[in-house]
Every structure is written in C-alpha cells, then in structure tokens.
Chains A and B, each alone.
Chain A
Amino acid sequence: MDFGKLFELVVAASLINNFVFTRFLGLCIFFGVSKKMETAVGMSITFTAVMVVSAALSWLVFTQVMLENALYQGSPDLTFLKIIIFIGIVAAFVQSADTIMKKISPTLYYKLGVYLALITTNCIILAVPLINAGEGYDFLESIAFGLGSGLGFALALVIMASIREKLELADVPAPFKGLPISFIIAGLIALAFTGFSGLITL
C-alpha cells in the first residue's frame, strides 16, 4: 500500500489536473451551481460521495467482468462496452442513492437530493472511470483518483461561488452578464491553477 503514490494521485487529480480548470469537464454543472455558496457546498459533498463510489464500482466491474479472462478462463474482452456500462453503473447508483436517501434520511434528501439528478449527466462522473480504466489503476488508486477529482471539483465550485456572489453587485456590461463574465473569471482562475503544474515532478 504505497501511500505516497495514493497521496500523489489525490493531489494530481485535485490541483494539477483539476477537472474543471485543466480538463474542462463538468462545466455545465460548474456554472449552474456556483451562483450561491450553499448550493456549491451541497453539490460538492454529493459529488465527491458519488464520485468515490462510482470509481470503486466501475473499477470492480471493469476488472472483474470486462477484461479478457476476467470472469473465467476464456471469457471475452468486453472493454468496448465500457462507455455504455459505466454510464449504466452511474445511473443505477444515482437512482438507488436517490431512493435510499429518501427513505432513510428525508432531511438529508431535502438538502442534497436535488443535486443527485444533476450529477448523472456530468462529464466528470463518466471521465473518471474511463481514465481509471485507461491508466490501469488498481482499486485503491482508482478510489484515490476519484476522491481527488471530487475535492478538486469542490475547490473549483467554492472559489467560483465566492467570486460570483460578489459579482452580483458589480457593474458588468450587458453583453457579458451571466455566462460570458463567468467564463472569463474561470479563465483567470485557470491561469492561477497553471501555477500548480510544476508541483509534482515525475
């Protein structure tokens, strides 16, 4: 259990290859939810939780079922189905989490449940299992990567939300109101994040 490598993965996924600012994934949700701090925080928690579990589940299915000779000697190579299967896993998990949360903890569901539905078509949720499969991470590494991406997304959301809340009071020219100015701000934050690129030298 190489904790150094795991820690490296978390840092890499959250800061150096931040999913929003470096890989440009999850933007629709990013711009949609970052208007207010409380929605941003709520989404971050839900997202990180779903991310870690999805990463674990899809790793299990990928390595135990889909790879060649995984199920039994001579079982076919099903990796070409990974797009369909990963989306299926995420959708199924989100649906069951939705139902379970409603039953077990209605207050929690009331607070966070609405974000669950938004997560299903999030680019990041699909990208992390795909990257895990592509890079051939083992179980703990996949979870570390998922955790890192969730933390990175949370960081991006919180930063953006705090700026946008202040932006409400600023005098933005009409053509730029709403999305364009948010994009430009995201660009400036992305510029700052470029500074992380030398953090871990390989």
Chain B
Amino acid sequence: MSHIHRTNLELIKNGIFGENTIFRMAISLCPSIAVTNSLKNGIALGVAVVFVQTMVNVTVSAIRNFIHPKIRIPIYMLIIAGYVTIIDMLMSTYFRAIYAQIGLYIQIIVAFASIFARAEVFASKNKLVPSFMDGFGMGVGFLLAMVVISFFREFLGKGELFGFTIVAGKPLLIMILPAGGFLAVGLLMGFFNWVDIKFFGGKGASGVR
C-alpha cells in the first residue's frame, strides 16, 4: 500500500473523509463520547490529537531507517507517550479549567489505536512531508468529528454553544448524559453511512464490527 504518488492535499482529504478515524475507521472511539458534551472540551481534545498525531508521524518518519523492526512497537509507544506527556503538561498549565474536566482523556491519547496504526502503516514507510500531511489530515479529521458530535450534543442537550445560550427553553438533557453520547455517535455514524451508501455507492463504515 504505497501512498507515494498521492499529493499532499489528497492525503489531508483522506484523513478527513476517506479514512476518517471515528466515522469510517471506527477506532479511538473512547473519547468521542467522553469529551463531546461541550464544544470547548471536544475542540480541546481534537487539537491535542492533531498535535500528537502530527508530531508522532513526523518523528517516526524521521527515524524510520534507524529503527530495528523487532523493537519498533516499544519505540512507537515511547514516542507517543512522550508527546502525550508534553501536551498533557502544556494543557494542565495553560488551560486549567478544561484540563480539570478532560485531563484523564488527554492522557488516554497514549492508548489511541489510530495514532499507533498510522505510525505503523504510514509513517514508517513514507518520507517526512507526506507523513506530516497524513498525520495532520488524520488529526484534523478527528477534530472535525469531535466538533460535529459536540455540536449536536451541546446544542440539543443544553441549548448552548460554547457556553452561549442559543435556544432558551427545556433542552434534551439526555444528550449530555453518557447515554446520549452513545446515541449521538450511533445516529451520526448511521447518518454518515447513509450518505456514503446513497451518494457514493459505498458500503458503510469499516473497522471494528
């Protein structure tokens, strides 16, 4: 599976649409429900993932010729853990309020299958710039998925966006509860599948079934 001939823009588009982490590949789902009860938290985690995914891809690609295949997994884990620790410390200092709510999930980024998979599948076999584009695209795809889910959950669940009240009146409280998170993601996934089947002749999301 060689991506050498793809242009950089295509790589980014692939990360956002074709192989979108949440809606098509359906991995790294844990945070998609946990932090999306408000737009602020969703964007915070999304940005953290963009940072980690891009940096990990770049680092792995830069040293790909020096890694012995047998020990590559611990090395990847070490690189990922390092960047997650960096972003964790940055967030806990500069974004105290948000960190207080989603701190645990920032640390969980280390266990993201998507970052690990990209490093293994793409970054270890491609040059620096394509790896950067791929990581960035995947990260942005994740960020967009977060935004979409948080938008629905906060809007329906609280009638607010970013803390600004948009619709006064009784909101659908279930949407910000854990149960609502599952429902929102399930319905959104179904919607994206429907779009895919109807307009693109696809067969719906792959991944964990």
Contact = CB atoms under 8 A, between A and B. Distances in A.
B56 interface: no
A80 B85 contact: yes
Contacts of B116: 121
Interface centre among A27, A81, A87 (most CB of B within 10 A): A27
B129 interface: no
Interface stretch (A3-11, A46-54, A69-77, A185-193): A185-193
Interface stretch (A57-65, A98-106, A124-132, A145-153): A124-132
Interface in A174-190: 174-184, 186-188, 190
A194 B177 contact: yes
B183 A187 contact: yes
Given A28-B28, A176-B190, A84 B78 contact: yes
Interface string A77-97: 000110110011001000000
Interface of B: 26-34, 74, 77-78, 81-82, 84-85, 88-89, 104, 107-108, 110-113, 116, 174, 177-183, 185-187, 189-191, 193-194, 197, 204-205, 207-209
11 contacts: A23-B34, A25-B108, A27-B30, A28-B27, A121-B113, A130-B104, A130-B107, A176-B186, A176-B193, A184-B182, A190-B178
4 shortest A-B CB distances, which residue pairs? Answer: A183-B186, A187-B182, A175-B194, A180-B190
Interface of A: 21-28, 31-32, 35, 80-81, 83-84, 87-88, 91, 121-123, 125-127, 130-131, 134, 173-184, 186-188, 190-191, 193-194
